[in-house]
Amino acid sequence: MTFEIDHVIARKHQGTTTADNLALACFFCNSYKGPNIAGVDPQSGRIVRLFHPRKDRWKRHFAWDGPFLIGHSRIGRATIAVLEINHPEFVAWREVLIREGAFPPDRGSAK
């Protein structure tokens, strides 16, 4: 898979092109995210900021349930919704990877 460099906080929102504001993103996630810095939590209906991969802990906001990513927080749920992480096509790809023993990735303690 090829990754793109994404501005976590888009330049149009005064995000800087510095290491602490850059992250690798797949083409689809980066396309869905665009310049968004927030989204709507589908559970509460509140507008909340998106997950910040340099500042937030992944395990606090997300967990895998088979091929589905589950949001444990408003930030997690809004991020999943904006990035369309559980789009049926992506879920189908992850099901194949699970059968092959290549998914989910080891999240470690970095996030």
Tens place of pLDDT per residue across the chain (111 aa) = 789 999 999 999 999 999 999 999 999 999 999 999 999 999 999 999 999 998 999 999 999 999 999 999 999 999 999 999 999 999 999 999 999 999 887 654 333
Report the predicted TM-score, pTM, of the whole model to 2 decimal places.
0.87
Structural domains of the chain, count: 1
Separation of CA 19 from chain center: 18
d(CA 6, CA 1): 15
Q: Give CA–CA dist 16/54, Å, rounded.
A: 14
Q: Which domain holds residue 94?
A: 3-99
Is the residue at 42 inside a domain? yes
Residue with tokens 């939590």, as numbered in its chain: 41
On whether residue 63 sits in a domain, the answer given is: yes
- Dist. CA 32–CA 108, nearest whole Å: 25
